Amino acid sequence: MQYAPSRLGRGNALPGTPQQKSIEPHLSLSAFLVQLLNGLASASSLFLVAAGLSIIFGVTRIVNFAHGSLYMLGTYIAYSLVKVFGGGMLGFWGGVLCAGIAVGLFGALVERLLLRRLYHAPELLQLLATFALVLIIRDFALWTWGAEDLLGPRAPGLGGAIDIAGRQFPEYDLLLIALGPLVLGLLWLLLTRTRWGTLVRAATEDREMAGALGVNQAWLFTSVFALGSFLAGLGGAIQIPREPAVLTMDLTILSDVFVVVVVGGMGSIPGAFLAAVIIGVLKAMCIGIGIGNVSALGIDFSFSKLTLVVEFIVMAVVLVIRPWGLLGRQQSIPRGAASVEPPLYLPPPALLKGLAAALLMLALLPLFSDRYTLVLLTDILVFALFAVSLHFIMGPAGMHSFGHAAYFGLGAYAAALLFKHAVPMEAALLLAPLVGGLGALVFGWFCVRLSGVYLAMLTLAFAQIAWSVVYQWDAFTGGSNGLVGIWPANWLASKTAFYYLALALCAGGVILLWRIVFSPFGYALRAGRDSPLRADAIGIDVRRQQWLGFALAGVLAGLAGAVHAFSKGSISPDTLSIPRSVDGLVMVLMGGIQTLTGAVAGAALFTWLQDSIARQTEFWRALLGGIILFLVLAFPQGIAGFIRERWDARKDAE
């Protein structure tokens, strides 16, 4: 039997554009109603997890990356407990509840043993610690429960479905729909009717004031972390009848939960509920509509594809209109009072000599190193520029970005697409950064209107929107497969030649950015960060400076992306995905956000660790997490920050 794939010959036809006329885009009222219920059922679990994250953030200001991991642990533990207890009424619900409690206790432990040591560290360092936990918990789950997906039993007595509007609707989903408002109500009672709740609210609104009220802060933080973790664990546990425990569910839920918390307004529990419902229902509606005809474009479009990105579109829209989320309040002090930035001095001659010597060594390295060293160093150079460009906006400009990979990826794709459309490699390399900069100019215009975590989440939203476009636009970007065959021109084909190119461009870019930090423009950025009020009063248009700084960082990130594309010969949507953005954050924080050289040190260390550890052990992820934890605890000021401190101490002793 032979089939001639006429359409396959032209690449993959877009499955969303079938010729059939029989597709029914209309959503009948009854279908709409049931999809509404579907959305509400999904929203409940999302709300539980999001409420936990929101409470934790509200009180401790920790951006808890490990929250998804706690959710995952909840699912796995519940699966195991229900298996041990048996699937009876008591066994099932006992197992679910115990799983939540176990995760709550684990969260309390994490807070006491780890995070407590980091409250006085530079801001966002807790984020790095929780990122390390993600790595460790993932490998712990793999080690404990194995790689196979684990589907739990149906809930006893609720395994069936009832008839709603002529459709079979799962009984368990009805329970979930009720659970969301129930938990919301209980939390409301807890927060408004108990002394503990009053303290939590006080701390959420004004951390310093709560301290002044004589609140036992240590105990409050631990209990808040325990409650938040319990909610995450419970949110995971109640999923066992609906979905299997899988090792990727930690990150899958994490981005959704962050979106819910931010859309609702960080620290606002009713806001989280509202946002969870909006997003849950919107997703169900996209699916319910199925294929619709977008008459403006004259094409059929499968709305179900929108589920890839719809929550991020919602977040972007909400943040642009309401910069503190739907029910959030303006953060009283966007930057923690504890985080006064240290002064930044021009590098002393000794350091400049050191940097020059390092550059010279890098330039001479090809004479006596093997080819792979050059390949690894090329990667390190690329990521160093990427990390320094991120540090430029996070450090001196004081804008946290969780979506910096967008500009890296835009640069990479621009380089690749220009090259594919017959632009010479050299020209593509030079034009691509401008595309990164243009992207940053557009996204940045909205981002600089926000501050703090909201700004960071808006950068994330834009990055995800850019990612989903690249991921979906098969005809232009190669879709999920990406683009291949992006190799450098002949004169740069050798690893040595390309290494020199990367060295020239990346080191050049890094030096340029460092230099700009000490230029009047850099001073204006720091002025806007240190005191927007004063900056405004001396005539500085803070937003405009931040905007331009954002765009400038985008240009340099784009340059890094373009060099990256040609060094690999291929690119895929991974180049602008969340993990790439997180890598950048980790590099900056590992090196030390308060030192200029920190980003370079962090990029070098992180890339080198990833490369070397992955070879050493099967559980390299946990090992990497362990190393990061060690670094966080030993050097909260970062590697470069630590070296600087030691240097200062020696100088003082002399």
Partner 1 sequence: MTETIVLRVSNLSKSYGGVQAVNAVSFSLASGELLALIGPNGAGKTTCFNLLNGQIAADSGSTEFEGRSLIGLKPRQIWRLGVGRTFQITATFASMTVRENVQTALLNFHGRLNSLVSLAERLYVDEAIELLARVGIAEQAARPCAVLAYGDLKRVELAIALANRPRLLLMDEPTAGMAPRERAALMRLTAELARASAIAVLFTEHDMDVVFAHADRVIVLNRGCIIAEGKPAEVRANREVQQVYLGSGSLFGAEHA
Partner 2 sequence: MESVSHGKSRSESNEDDVNLREKHMIARRAFLLGTVTLAMAAIFSDPAAAQGTIKIGEMNSYKVFPAFLEPYKKGWELALDEINAAGGVLGRKLEVVSRDDGGNPGEAVRVAEELLSRENVAFLVGTFPSHVGLAVADFAKQKKVLFIAAEPLTDKIVWQNGNKYTFRLRPSTYMQTAMLIPEAVKLKKKRWAIVYPNYEYGQSATAAFKELLKKAQPDVEFVAEQAPALGKIEAGAVAQALADAKPDAIFSSLFGADLTKFVREGQTRGLFKDRVVFNLLAGEPEYLDPLKEDTPAGWYVTGYPWQSINTPEHKKFLAAYQKKYKDYPRLGSIVGYATLKTAAEAIRKATSLDQEKLVAAMKGLQVDTPIGRITFRALDHQATMGAYVGRLGVKDGKGVMSSFSFADGAKFLPADDAVRKMRPAE
Beta strands in 550-598 (DSSP E): 569-571
Strand partners, 168: 163
Among 536, 574, 611, 645, binds partner 1 (CB under 8 A): 536
Using alpha carbons, select from 204, 262, 237 the residue that is nearest to residue 56.
Answer: 204
**Total binding residues toward partner 1, as defined by CB under 8 A:** 31
Closest CA to 546 of 453, 640, 450, 633: 450
2 binds partner 2 (CB under 8 A): yes
Closest-CA residue to 571 (of 481, 509, 511) = 481
Q: Closer CB to partner 1, residue 24 or residue 652?
A: 652
543-562: which residues touch partner 1 (CB under 8 A)? 545, 548
Stretch that binds partner 1, among 140-148, 262-270, 525-533, 616-624 (CB under 8 A): 525-533
CA 274/CA 50 separation, integer angstroms: 11
How many residues touch partner 2 under the rule CB under 8 A: the total is 143
Among 29, 422, 538, 634, which residue sits at the site for partner 1 (rule: CB under 8 A)? 538
Q: How far is Cα 80 from Cα 86, in angstroms, rounded to an integer? A: 10
- The token pair at 14 is 């877009």
Choosing from 362, 363, 423, 497, the residue that interacts with partner 2 (CB under 8 A) is 362
Distance CA 483, CA 420 (A): 9
- For the segment 377-396, give every residue that binds partner 2 (CB under 8 A): 377, 379-380
For 482, how many CA atoms within 13 A lie in the half-sphere containing its CB?
22
Rounded least distance, CB 598 to partner 2, Å: 7
Site for partner 1, residues 460 to 519, rule: CB under 8 A = 515-516, 518-519
Interaction between residue 500 and partner 2 (CB under 8 A): no
Q: Is 93 exposed, middle or buried (0-12, 13-18, 19+ CB in 10 A)?
A: middle
Shortest Å distance, C-beta 341 to partner 1: 4
Residue 341 found at the interface with partner 2 (CB under 8 A) = no
Per CB under 8 A, does 348 bind partner 1? no
| Site membership for partner 2, residue 208 (CB under 8 A) | no
Which tokens go with 228?
């938040």
The answer to whether residue 343 forms part of the interface with partner 1 (CB under 8 A) is: yes
Q: Which is nearer to partner 1, 452 or 488 (CB)?
A: 452
- Can you give the C-alpha Rg of the chain in angstroms? 26
Binding partner of 97, given partner 2, partner 1, none, CB within 5-8 angstroms per partner class: none
Sole window of 65-73, 163-171, 215-223, 258-266 interacting with partner 2 (rule: CB under 8 A):
163-171
Q: Pick from 575, 585, 623, 637: which binds partner 2 (CB under 8 A)?
A: 575
How far is residue 32's CA from residue 500's CA, in Å, rounded to a whole number? 60
List the one residue from 148, 149, 541, 618 that touches partner 1 (CB under 8 A). 541
Q: Which of partner 1, partner 2, none sits in contact with 540, Cβ below 5 to 8 A by type? A: partner 1
Contacting partner 2 within 531-570 (CB under 8 A): 564, 568-570
Segment (H or E) for 341 = none
Q: Is 644 in the site for partner 1 (CB under 8 A)?
A: no
227 lies in the site for partner 2, by CB under 8 A: no
In degrees rounded to 5, what are phi and psi of residue 483?
A: -120, 140
Under the binding rule (CB under 8 A), the answer on residue 349 touching partner 1 is: no
Residue that the structure tokens 């006085």 belong to: 120
For residue 520, the partner it binds in partner 1, partner 2, none, with Cβ less than 5 to 8 A by kind, is partner 1
Per the CB < 8 A criterion, the answer to whether 452 and 402 are in contact is no
To partner 2, the closest distance from the beta carbon of 132 in angstroms equals 16
The reply on whether position 74 binds partner 1 by CB under 8 A is: no
160 binds, among partner 1, partner 2, none (CB under 5 to 8 A by kind): partner 2
- Which option in partner 2, partner 1, none does residue 67 bind, with CB closer than 5 to 8 A by kind? none
Work out whether 206 is an interface residue with partner 1 (CB under 8 A): no
Sheet strands (E) in 475-568: 483-486
Q: What is the 3-state secondary structure (H, E, C) of 225-279?
A: HHHHHHHHHHHHHCCCCCCCECCCHHHHHHHHHHHHHHHHCCCCHHHHHHHHHHH
Q: CB 260 → partner 2: shortest distance, Å?
A: 14
Closest separation between CB of residue 143 and partner 2, Å? 11
Q: And the tokens for 322?
A: 């309401």
Select from partner 1, partner 2, none the partner in contact with residue 511, using the beta carbon and a kind-dependent cut-off of 5 to 8 Å. Answer: partner 2
Quick one: which of 144, 168, 216, 293 contacts partner 2 (CB under 8 A)? Answer: 168
**Position among 56, 232, 601, 629 found at the interface with partner 2 (CB under 8 A):** 601
Question: What is the spatial distance between Cα 188 and Cα 186, in angstroms, rounded to a whole number?
Answer: 5
Neighbours of 554 (CB within 10 A): 30
Q: What is d(CA 386, CA 98) in angstroms, rounded to the nearest whole number? A: 44
- Check residue 299 for interaction with partner 2 (CB under 8 A): no
Calpha distance 253→169 (Å, rounded)? 24
Q: Which candidate, 352, 411, 351, 408, places its Cα nearest to that of 384? A: 408
Degrees (nearest 5) of the Cα angle 181, 184, 190?
145
The residue from 198, 331, 373, 494 that contacts partner 2 (CB under 8 A) is 373
Binding footprint of partner 1 on the chain (CB under 8 A): 340-344, 346, 515-516, 518-524, 526-527, 529-531, 533-541, 545, 548
